[in-house]
Structure 1
Amino acid sequence: MAFIIQTNYKRNRKTIPGDTLMGEFIEQKTASYIEPERKGTAKGDEIGFSRKKHEAAVYNITKLKIKYLAFIIAISYGLLRKWRTEEKFKEMIKKYSRQFAECFCGYIDKLVEEESEKINKLSDEEYEIYLAECQHRLSDGDLYGPQICAEVQRILEMRIAEIDHRRKQGASGPKDDIYLVMLERALNWSNIDLKPKSGLLKQITDDIKRRRREQLDRDKERGATIIDQDPIELFKKVLAHENLTDKDREQAIQLLEVELELLKHGYRFFKSEDYE
């Protein structure tokens, strides 16, 4: 018999997908940077960041661990730690964090503008594909650094306050409603770490967290009901290409689906004898 326990498992992603909003932002900033030349500058005067140091500043807008960042950028851990203590380096991180936050919020505006066009012109299947593509664009939101999250929260609270003001004045229109729908989708897709204290934004983020907990509970319950043999042994049968009954094959697929979903939230399956 197997059961589910909570663990400290976390996804370990060392890189950022190049086709997400964050991936494209990093690629654009690093590719467009022109390294300053020493020629014509007096000895001892600062000449700005080297290409490598600038790249490090761009990547530091994420929550990637410093050791992973050093590995990605191909510099020493000690050098990156030194750079992170410098005021100009911190200012660069702050600047790019603010720019990306504006990019993220601008993407929500883009979703609002496209919504009426897409929903009217696309078939149901095409619309689902479109939404999946939009979701992928924000799929690494759990890697957004704290300065990005704080700036996104500031901008969104300001936008929501404007909508609330229009509603009180009786001047709110359909576009405001669409904005709130797209906002909730973007926050759900990205899993960005916002911490609003009150207001509509807090209500939206609380609703998202509640639905995730409910989904996780359903997944856990589903996992408990389908396990009537050790899942590890069942997976071994699949890997060994053993002949399986239809029931075993169905359970193997279900167990894998549940396991993958639970792993996203810090859970995994263990054999009970491992803890006896």
Structure 2
Amino acid sequence: MTRTALVTGAARGIGAATALRLAADGFQVAVLDLREEDCAATVDAVTAAGGRAVAVGADVGDTDAAAAAVARVADELGAPTVLVNNAGILRDNLLFKMSEADWDSVISVHLRGAFLMSREVQKHQVAAGWGRIVNLSSTSALGNRGQANYATAKSGLQGFTKTLAIELGRFGVTVNSVAPGFIATDMLRQTAERLGITFEQFLEGAAKEIPVGRVGQPADIANAVSFFCSEAASFVNGQVLYVAGGPKA
């Protein structure tokens, strides 16, 4: 039986790498992002490698859009029994400069989006008696200057993960979280610009602070997600795995 995985925020970066990895693992993949057209490159890469994928455009923080997206995936690929909640945005600023819009938009995409998507997908997982949910947290959950909104959202996802693990475990569904450290993605270009340095300088400086001597790549995170989605991880539930090139707690 070929299972279907739904990956949010999969147009680029970690989401795209995860979609490609899950397709290589044998899953059909729904590639979801805010705009459907932005998913084309990921879908093309999956199909070029021999997999099957569809592009879906949706705002994960919108109740109706989330429900419609999951229903469409079920119709076109089959019931999604794997969900990777990866969609995310940055609106960094120090607390005294942070607007309500900066706060609300980050919380909506990360936390509300994961809640809405999980609530929709769990129906299919419970019906199938099997499922995997992987939530993307971050080392920022431990606290990070200028990211009160993002750190709160990523910390919240860890509590969300542990609670769903308790609730859904009896139905054959495991829920885990991957917390990336410094990963070289386009999202971090915004941070480099805010700091007034080039992206290359930003990466070089970060690598010096990481015990393994390099920054992470999207594939490093995709590999961890792949494990949590596998049969080999059937007894791993409610865990947070820091993938950061060094110890985090």
TM-score, scaled relative to structure 1? 0.26
More helix by share: 1
Larger radius of gyration: 1
